[in-house]
Structure 1
Amino acid sequence: MYLERVRKAQEELRIAGYDIMLICDRENLIYYTGIPEIECGGLIIPAEGEPLLVTLWLDIPHIKHLLEFEAVGYVYGRDTMASAVARLISKMGYVAPKIVFSKYFVEVGVYETLMNNIPGMKVINGTELCYKIRAIKDEKEIEFITKASEMVRKGMEAAIDAIEPGMTESEVLGYAELAMRKAGSEGSPFRMQVLTKDRQLMTHPYATTTTIENNQPIVIHLGATYRGYVSKMCRTIALGQVSEETKKIYKIMVEAQQAAVKKSMPETPVKEVYNEAFKIIDENGYGDKFIVDIGYGIGIRQSEFYPIIGKNRDYILKENMVIDLMFPTIYDKEFGGPRVTDTLIVKNPPEILTKYSYDMVQK
């Protein structure tokens, strides 16, 4: 299975005219090896020939019997991953090779070592290519995401059961994390959210030691990980008395989300998915307080940027893509903030994996 993924990457390299893909981030190491424990590793995928994993020598005995291809070790202190990779690539006989990196940012030390040891090397940002390759999930990936989804539901139940005025955001999150861990989660894929009203319009807030006061909506956004794969879900509850306008906004968000989910079938342009949600937001008078993107792919990362579901995006949904809908809210300073998010499989009909009540639970 993992060697098949390598072959797909090699085909993409040949089509693009690149020589090597160098995988040195944890997400793609998991994708191409199936081993979540690899750290300080580099996977060399040449356009032609066999892949080679370079990792710490102490990990080789464990890794070798799990891998579908060869691995070699280096001794930290005498060598580095970058120097070992540079040495091996130099032996391959390339002249000014075009090397695709698998993430937006490459550590300066890695970059310098490769540039100093591989004459004429050209660096290619292959992040979108990597996300594209990973976008359509196979049966095993869907199994892992489904299990993570079950864990997220356990966390949501625990958070809602536990929350009461006087607790801190992080205390509530602690109940959710414990429940997810007990259910088998390997940890949070992002900084999770239990949010009081004043921070719900921020871009990337997270649960803090803020004390939760009564009579406000609370946003709970959780994620779980299983075998390196992620699921996430968001719901909004009412703690004490909440304004009728806020309740109305949450109902609008749920209606818009469900319309977008229903549209998320194979071969659908993502613009059409966005339009289904926006139409409902706009009909209710909030079109000018909504943003242009509403979802991402999900897999090894909580937000995989292929596809991006948005107004101005040109992606086409494919069967067995896994996406999230919707991450934004209505950005009204007085009443906005409620959110609802689910993880779902693109199919006909679409399948929501994070099945949980959409009612604004009253606490």
Structure 2
Amino acid sequence: MKFGHLLTFFYICDSIELHGLELNIGSFTLRQIKTATNNFDVANKIGEGGFGSVYKGVLPSGTLIAVKQLSSKSKQGNREFLNELGMISALQHPHLVKLYGCCIEGNQLLLAYEYMENNSLARALFGPKEWQLELDWPTRYRICIGIARGLAFLHEESRLKIVHRDIKATNVLLDKDLNAKISDFGLARLNEEDKTHISTRVAGTYGYMAPEYAMRGYLTDKADVYSYGIVLLEIVSGMANVADRENENQFVLLERAFALKATGNLMDLVDPKLGSEYDIQEMMVVINLALVCTAITPTDRPTMSSVVSMLEGRIVPEVFPAEQSDSMTEMDRDKRVKELEDQNGNRIVEMPFACTDSSTSAVDLYPNDGFSEYLQKRDSDIRKLLSK
């Protein structure tokens, strides 16, 4: 493996061309990857997604890696491979999963990441019982801060300002010390201020998508802030924000949070597994931040740097907007497409509600031991409800 130099390559696959693409990462040969994974031994397979598999591997140095293998036969898989390669190769941060290098050889498209011993936050919180971890409140609070720091870096501190577009519990991975790291940049987009923020392809995951993006394709970094708010609610409650089977355009956890706020019983959100072993002040900060982050109006949501400051106690948490619509999770189901203008005069295209659930369209880094199938079935049920 080669580090500390610019990798230059030329590769053509299914009409996608890269001419002299320069990436500040290492390169692997296919032989090195096969050696690390014992020739992609099924015993080393730790995940499966819509565009390939993920294998655990070990380098000659003893470093553990997670190898994402994407099929070159899928155009969408190629796009997401190149997007992830281009995005994450330019990013280095303690709360982003580190990309060690790539391999493009024959029909193989491979990405080698640092191996995350404790898998995903989703599996730790609400996966099948045998996969769940006992996350105490200090650990959960540290995870909240870690995700926020990673997003603040993407939105405000990195040379490339990036909107992740798919912040969710399965895309937050936990290392051996339960530090949170954001993964899966296959859907990420540059946040270019001179653009109108219109996305022609709405992509993300049901239950985490901001209303203005899901309904109108209007994308800014505040879409990630909304998704982060949902993740905060999941961390507090230990519950997934799944669809309400009786009211298919609503999501159980978010609706419950608003209902409890209305009755003054927000502490009922707290995961019973925590008992009374948590800091009440920290818990209220996180719950109120979750509500602020999921405000229906993007401008009412805080920046992620402000979120970090609030969690670290440097500034007082922002006040939750007093007026909200009846339901923040009701999605416009009108199939007409029409042009609107937002309050700043930017063009907005109101689009049919059509999303790509990345738990099946992109490869989560490694939803281990069948957890991907568990999530795909759950999300498939959600999509069926929302498509009625």
TM-score under structure 2 length normalisation? 0.27
TM-score under structure 1 length normalisation? 0.29
